Amino acid sequence: MKRLLLLLFIVLIFEPIHAQVQEALTPLELKQTTIVTQPATLNKGFLRAGFALSFAAVDKFFDDDAKKRLFPDNIWAKSLSYQFAFQYGVSDRLQASLSIPFRNEFISQSLLLEAPLSGTSEITSWGIEGNGLSDVELGLIYQLVPEDILRRAVLVSAFLTLPTGEKDPTDIVDEQNYTLPTGSGEGTLDLGVTFRKVQYPFSYEGAIAYDIKFGGTKIIDVGEDPTDFKSGNLLTLRGAYNFHLNEWLVFQNDIFYFSFGDDEVDGQANDLKRWALQYVPRLSFQIKRFRINQAVSFVVKGRNSSADPGYTMVVQYVF
């Protein structure tokens, strides 16, 4: 009985306050909230549509001793990714998402071939490109512990990546003349838990996620038969600290730690023990229902991983 009374007392205390918070913002105002002030998931019936553009070049890497090194060859590679993303509030606690990415990959190399004994010398330059749909992603985020009046929430998420992009090199003429694949060739299930706390003008997030790779079969080396492969599963830890610079501009700071499992090709694991520590500062401009996000990712440290920065710009609108 005492427990029941105590529960009733708590409900009576918190429910009116909760109701007041709900009434504080109109639907229009909710659609104009920033990355800090927005609810943990989209409100029921809201749709957020966005377009993202990412650019990265290949220049440096962290070697087996976690030392940053330059790629010695003069190969130039760049990757441009653009994706359409949609998020929908199924209920006030459940958000569904769909991402449709496209990729443009480009690799070029030039070399001078000299054969002094035969007195021949030749310059060979080649460039290969791939353009097209990449791997589509479907996702669900659920407020396991719904956002309370203190703006704390615990979210669970599941994202499924489908191998919709072309996984194999196509139009193969020779090793220097073919079309690059734009897909990974394997499905991925990403499961995660996120803790979020808003304390205006700040917000904090901590998250852990685990990517399970399903593997597949694809042509890894041009001219050879398709091979069984499986990328290593990925553990991601993330911490975020975001704050308002003014009412419509938020500075976000994300730190990621990635731990990659061993990749397998034809049943053989590569045993690279890859990891990376990444810092991603972002600026998020909120102009009414429009949002423009810009981010540069810096790989601070790593082992057998890329050391190159990447640039991303996202434009979003809430309907």
Partner 1 sequence: MIKLAHQGWVFLFFILSHHLAAQKGDSILANETTLIRPLTVHKGQFRVNGGYSLLINSRRYDLAGNKVDLSDEGFTNIGHLVDLELNYGFAEFLQVSMDINHLQEAQRSRNIVIITTPDDPIDFNEITERKGWTDLHVMLDFKVPFVTRQFDFVFSAGRSLPVAAHEPDQPEHQIDDTGPLNTITYQFLNKAGEGTAAWLIGLSGKVRTDKFGFSFDYFRQHFSGEATSISWSASLDNELISYTSRDYDYQLGDRSQLLFLSEYQAWPFLNLFLGYQAHNSGEGWSEITGIRTLVERQRRRSIQLGAEVLVTPRLWIRQVASFPTGGENSFNPLILSTRAVYNLFPFER
- Per CB under 8 A, residues contacting partner 1 are 57, 59-60, 70, 72-76, 106, 108-117, 123, 125, 127, 245-246, 249, 283, 285, 294, 296, 308-309, 311
Burial (CB < 10 A; 0-12, 13-18, 19+), residue 181, is buried
Burial (CB < 10 A; 0-12, 13-18, 19+), residue 119, is exposed
Q: How far apart are CA 71 and CA 213, in angstroms?
A: 28
If the CB atoms of residues 59 and 262 are measured against partner 1, the closer one turns out to be 59
Taking the complex as a whole, the smallest distance from the CB of residue 258 to partner 1 amounts, in Å, to 22
If the CB atoms of residues 26 and 74 are measured against partner 1, the closer one turns out to be 74
If the CB atoms of residues 122 and 225 are measured against partner 1, the closer one turns out to be 122
Taking the complex as a whole, the smallest distance from the CB of residue 52 to partner 1 amounts, in Å, to 16
Taking the complex as a whole, the smallest distance from the CB of residue 283 to partner 1 amounts, in Å, to 7
Distance (Å) of CA 119 to CA 113, 116, 123, 190, 198 = 11, 5, 14, 57, 72
Instruction: Give the pair of three-digit tokens for residue 127.
Output: 């460039």
Q: Are 103 and 152 within 8 A, CB to CB?
A: no
Taking the complex as a whole, the smallest distance from the CB of residue 294 to partner 1 amounts, in Å, to 8
Taking the complex as a whole, the smallest distance from the CB of residue 118 to partner 1 amounts, in Å, to 9
Q: Are 133 and 102 within 8 A, CB to CB?
A: yes
If the CB atoms of residues 4 and 112 are measured against partner 1, the closer one turns out to be 112
Taking the complex as a whole, the smallest distance from the CB of residue 86 to partner 1 amounts, in Å, to 27
Query: Which secondary structure element, helix H or strand E, spans residue 89, and what is its range?
Result: strand 76-89
If the CB atoms of residues 14 and 126 are measured against partner 1, the closer one turns out to be 126
- Closest to 288 in 3D by CA, of 21, 24, 23, 28: 28
Instruction: Give the pair of three-digit tokens for residue 205.
Output: 């997030």
**φ, ψ for residue 222, nearest 5 deg:** -60, 135
If the CB atoms of residues 129 and 228 are measured against partner 1, the closer one turns out to be 129
